[in-house]
Homo-oligomer: A and B are copies of this chain.
Amino acid sequence: METDRRGRPRLVASRRPGSSARDEILDAAAELFTTVGYAATSTRRIADSVGIRQASLYHHFAAKDDILDALLAGTVDASMELAVELLAEDGPMAPRLHTLVVADTAQLCGGAWNLGTLYLLPDLRVERFAAFHRRRGELRSHYRELSRAVIAEHNGAPDANDLPFRLVEAVINRRSDDGACPSDYPWTTAEAALRVLGCASGFARMRAQTASRLASPPE
């Protein structure tokens, strides 16, 4: 018989970032999935790593794939919102794509664990993750829409329209190889994303606009 144990005292003191048990479970799972592997990690091991009982974990997530799904959603949700916002605005597209690339790259460079390394897992190619794939596909479409507009503005190569999205996700490999990304990587990536579309100037102004919009100083 299962009872609600959310109020029960911890087996060990909390040692994970996060204001709630749910956040601690997500952090522990992110660490284990990216360092031990998704297939090789059990919910038991995640619970042990947080210092809670497995039954308590199940109050927050019914199964291991629900934890993975929540982690994956966290890698696209904020960028999706920003992309939709930027697409609805007026003016030239180049500065808008610049802002999206900086924000999205910074997000993928940040966070304690390199969650993007999970995108290519065969385990993700099942119906359970269809919603995530759809959402990441929408984000990719938004990138392409912005990119096509920049290509039109700058007489760029039409077949380059998927490359800004790819440059952003390439940060996952850089982080995996070097353990971290240089602090100016979001800005480097944004400029590169515009250059592949034929836009090769106006970067100083875009950097200032993006920095003020995202309220983070340019490097």
Interface residues of A (CB under 8 A from B): 34-37, 39-40, 117, 119-123, 125, 137, 140, 157, 159-160, 162-163, 166-167, 169-170, 172-174, 176-177, 182, 184, 188-189, 191-192, 195-196, 198, 200
| Most chain B Cβ neighbours within 10 Å, of A117, A121, A159, A195 | A195
- 5 residue pairs from A and B, CB less than 8 Å apart: A37-B122, A119-B173, A157-B192, A167-B170, A196-B196
Known A-B contacts A121-B37, A157-B191; the reply to A163 vs B173 at CB < 8 A is no
Known: A120-B120, A122-B34. A159 touches B182 (CB 8 A): yes
Residue of B39, B120, B188, B189 touching A40 (CB-CB under 8 A): B39
Q: Which 9 A-B pairs have the closest CB atoms?
A: A166-B170, A192-B196, A117-B120, A39-B39, A159-B188, A37-B122, A195-B195, A170-B170, A195-B196
